[in-house]
Structure 1
């Protein structure tokens, strides 16, 4: 499926025309790609006369950003829906045999996996931490997103600068979630905003952090009684890249942006993508997983250097 988008640039001076760039958002069950006039459409598939004739084109006005976001989300959802139906057919299951009502009935029998809820509700896990530093000195902490699907979406301590104020204080651990800084809540804020808030602390001598003590690894429990029921998330090279709202995976604690490191007690750190998909596709009953923010994993395994 391809959606035609009109991308506006900065407002032109009065009297001059507004330059625009037309792009196509190509969405398939395998990838999402942005195509412009300089980028050729994907090659035709066997038996197709014209790729364009097999795609849906919609003109989008720049002023309708909300409609655009909904259109993109709907298109991605349709692509994953097609992929799931093909998976069911490949396993000898007719998609029509599993109604939405049946799936909803299953969800209604399941509680949210409340390990996070219990953890966050304990007062001893939530503390105010004070870090002393010199004015002009950086805080010396690297943060990453907790991931879409977390109970309280905020940022996680992923690394500390050696010899920096945070490390020397000994009051913060890798995996701790930072709920607020100097009384400013970080819950629900984009990572870039949280990073800007931390950078703005450079000229302060004392910093107050409200943190929830968390291990760096998240424990996930998915209850899937039968192969007919979709797990409700997708994986690419071991990293969770999408999550169906309200599905059994979200209820089980799965988070977007996390890397799967263990499935049912078996390490999958060095497991090829195809095998991970096969393990998950064939898993039924209680599926236990351990995940870690992908950015934190790359830092801990020295694939990236902390900044």
Structure 2
């Protein structure tokens, strides 16, 4: 046991974020989906505490949590240890750079191609009932947003439209992606109703028409939305 053998073992302290998450997922443990293996870091949320520490890598093996050795522990027991409140002290050793996804397949880069996103949307055009339900809150506000459409696109998907499976509906924001113009601008959210794009009203537009109006925008995009 020379001392240089220990250089790849390190201790990392993490604090949970406001949602109570460390921003990491693990694979392995006794009885896990990939067999009885060592516990390794399978994934990290880009902005989560684990990624921000810059001391952890996907594929690192976790040896102990708060000085509790993980040897012989089940996957679920390890997950419970990670959820304990307070500072979490991980002892990790540098593992192979193998990316293990939880299903046991190596992970593929997910394409951020918008056209694929739209294809998926048209297949499952589900409107949120909660947006349409009249609620007691303040009346919706009309906001004008200025988005800068870059290589990542506008960065959101839509639902609704004239002649949608749910009837003639306005165009609503279905989801805002983590990258893109909407995320950079910061105020667009799920359930906002899009009134117009670059001064062109979406009233009476079908889903497809609204998609093509949004896809054909370039550079600076001005959108009027109703937000509740």
Fold in common (TM above 0.5): no
Scaled by the length of structure 1, the TM-score of the pair is: 0.30
Relative CO higher for 1 or 2, CA cutoff 8 Å, sep ≥ 6? Answer: 2
* Higher percent of residues as helix: 1
Scaled by the length of structure 2, the TM-score of the pair is: 0.39
* Higher percent of residues as strand: 2
